[in-house]
Structure 1
Amino acid sequence: MSRTESPPRPLDERLPTLRGRLDGAAELLVCLDFDGTLAPIVEDPDAAAPTERNREALAALAATPAVTTAVVSGRALRDVRARVDGPSIYAGNHGLELAREGSIAVHPVARKRAIRIERICSILETALASVPNCRVENKRLTGTVHYRSVPDAAEPIVRRITNTVVERFGGDDLELSPGKRILEIGPDIPWGKGNAVELIAADEPSETVPVYIGDDVTDESAFRAVEPDGIGIRVGDDDEPSSASCRVDSPTEVADFLAWLGSTGADLVDRTGSPAAPPVEAQ
C-alpha cells in the first residue's frame, strides 16, 4: 500500500524512523535520480555533473557490503552511465532501459516506437527552431523538449507547438508529460521509474529496505514503489504534496544523507545481518 500524499517532512525530523527501519533490515537498496539529485540543475543539460561530494559518497556507498546502489534517470542509459560511476545498476529513459548483471533490457513496446520518437523530435527541431534557447533532445526511446533558458514570453509557444505535434503525429502511441522546465515525450504505456525500482527491488533479499531519492514529477512513481515500507526522499525546498515521506533541500543535502547511510545507516544494517550462506562443498 502506497503512502497517502502529503508534504514530506524534513529528513532530520524523520531520522529516528529511518534508524528503526534500517535496524531491522537484512540489506539496503539505494536508488537515485541524477539531475537535481546527484547533480545540480544547470542551464545546459550537457554540462550536468554530480557534485564531488555526491560522487565520493556514492562510490563509498556502492563499495559497502550489504548495500546495492542504482541510478534511475530520465536520461538515456548511455548518457547517465557516462556521467556517474559506482552503482551496480542503471536505469535510463525513466526505466525503459535497465542495465544490471552485465546485460541491458529494453522495454519491447518502447523499442518498437523509437522510430516515431525520432520522427517527432525531428519535426519539433524544425518547428521550434525560431524559439531562442529551446532544445529538442532525442533519447531514442523518449524525447525531451528543454525550455529552461527560453524567454518567459515564449514558454506558452513551446508548450503549444509541442502538444500539437505530439497529438498529430504521435496519436495513441505516444504521450506528453511535464517535468521541471521540460516536456517529456514517450510511449503511452503504463511504465515509469517506479516499475524499474520494483524490478530492481525484486532481486534483493526480502528484508531489504529500499530507498529512493529524486526531485521531479517523474520520481513520484518511484516514491510510491518504496513507501511506506521503504524510504522516499524528495529533493527540493517546496511543500507540495508527494508520495515521499522525507525531503532534503538540495544535492548538497543528498550528499550528507548518502554519507550518513554509508556510515551510521550501513552499521545499523550490518548489525542485524542476514544469515550466512552455507559453505559450498568442493567438487
Structure 2
Amino acid sequence: MSETPPRPIVACLPRLRAKLRDASALLVCLDFDGTLAPIVDEPDAAAPTAENEAALETLADTERISTAIVSGRALADVRARVGPATAYAGNHGLELDRDGSVTVHPAARERATLVETVCGLLEVALDPIPGTRVENKRLTGTVHVRQVLPVTRPIVRELTRDAVDRIGGDDLELSSGKCVLEISPSVSWGKGDAVCRLETASPDDTLTIYVGDDVTDESAFRAVEPDGVGVRVGDDSPSAASCRVRSPDDVTSLLEWLVTTGVDLLENDRSRSPSTTDTDLDLGN
C-alpha cells in the first residue's frame, strides 16, 4: 500500500459512516503514548488524559464495541496505566492479553536474555551521556533520547547499534521511533500482527479502527486499511493511515463520536437516531 498524507478525520466521515452501516460490531484499537496519553519527557510519568479514560470506560460499557490497547510498552506496564479494555498488546504486539489469557511470541521469549544483556551493557556505556535512559522491557528494550542534546544523539545511536550487533548478531535488530531507539528480536512481527489476531477472534463483519501516532503503528495501519480505518495522531506526513487527528484531545472527541453516532450506525441497529451530526466532530483541520 502506497503512503500518502492522511486526510483530516472530518473529511473521512462519509467513508467511516458507510463502513459502520455495513458492520455488525466495532473493534477500536489504540496506541498509548501520544494517542491516549500526551508525550512527556519522563516516560514513567505518562498517563492517559482524564477525558480519554472516561471515553474508554464508556466504550467498555457499550454493546458491540470491543477495545484493545496496543503499545510498545511492556504488557504489565501498559495494562496498569490504562483501562478497561477487552485486550492489551505489549512490546509492539509480542505479548498479547486477551480475555485473561496471555500469549508471548516464542522467539521473543527465547531472546529475552540477549535483550537483557544489551540493556545492561548500554546502561554502562551510555551513562556518561546526559539525558539518556535505557529501559529493559524484558522482550524488547528502549533507549530514550528525548532529553539528549541533538548533537549527541548520533553517538547514542552508534553505541546502541554496536551493542546490538555484537551481542545480538542476527537475533536482534535496532529500529527508531519518536525520540527512541528500539531493541527487539529479529522476527517478522509487529503491532499489525497483534491487531490481525484480534480481528480473527472478532465476530464476522466487525469494523476495525486503529489509532496511533508513531512509526511502529504503521504496520497496524497497513493491517486494517482499506477494509478498516487507520487514524494517525499528528501532522499530515505520509502514512498508511487514511485519516488523521491532531492530538490526544482530538482522540477523545473521536471516541465520543463512536459511542454516540458510531454505534447507532452499526448494521441491524436502526431503532435509534444518531445523537450527533458530522459537523459536531471538529477534528484534524
- Provide, for residues 13-62 of structure 1, a one-character-per-residue CA deviation record: whole Å limited to 9, x for no partner: 11111001001111000000000000000000000000011010111011
Provide the C-alpha distance between the structure 1 equivalents of 2:267 and 2:54, rounded to a whole number of angstroms: 21
Q: CA deviation at 1:272?
A: 4.1
- Cα RMSD of the aligned pairs, angstroms, is 1.0
Report 1:31-50 matches (<5 A): 31-50=29-48
SS at match of 2:138: coil
2:237 to 222, 233, 240: 240
> What code does the residue aligned with 1:243 have?
A
1:87 to 80, 85, 88: 85
Query: What residue is the counterpart of 2:256 in the other structure?
Result: 259
> What code does the residue aligned with 1:65 have?
E
Task: Call closer, same or farther: CA 1:54–1:211 in 2, change over 3 Å.
Answer: same
Provide the C-alpha distance between the structure 2 equivalents of 1:126 and 1:4, rounded to a whole number of angstroms: 41
SS at match of 1:28: strand
Mapped contact 1:25–1:272 kept (Cα < 8 A):
no
1:29 to 27, 32, 37: 27
Provide the C-alpha distance between the structure 1 equivalents of 2:60 and 2:67, rounded to a whole number of angstroms: 6
Provide the C-alpha distance between the structure 1 equivalents of 2:56 and 2:256, rounded to a whole number of angstroms: 8
Provide the C-alpha distance between the structure 2 equivalents of 1:270 and 1:89, rounded to a whole number of angstroms: 24
**Structure 1 runs of 4+ with >6 Å offset:** none
Residues 1:127 and 2:125 are matched in the alignment: yes
Q: CA deviation at 1:271?
A: 4.3
Provide the C-alpha distance between the structure 2 equivalents of 1:132 and 1:272, rounded to a whole number of angstroms: 57
In structure 1, list runs of 5 or more residues that go unmatched: 274-283
Q: CA deviation at 1:4?
A: 2.8
Residues 1:188 and 2:186 are matched in the alignment: yes
Mapped contact 1:214–1:233 kept (Cα < 8 A):
yes
- Provide, for residues 125-153 of structure 1, a one-character-per-residue CA deviation record: whole Å limited to 9, x for no partner: 00000010100000000000000011122
> What code does the residue aligned with 1:62 have?
A
> What code does the residue aligned with 1:185 have?
I
Q: CA deviation at 1:270?
A: 5.8
In structure 2, list runs of 5 or more residues that go unmatched: 271-285
Number of residue pairs matched by the alignment: 270
Mapped contact 1:66–1:270 kept (Cα < 8 A):
no
Provide the C-alpha distance between the structure 1 equivalents of 2:128 and 2:2, rounded to a whole number of angstroms: 43
Q: CA deviation at 1:64?
A: 0.5
- Percent identical among aligned pairs is 60
- Provide, for residues 182-201 of structure 1, a one-character-per-residue CA deviation record: whole Å limited to 9, x for no partner: 00000000000000000000
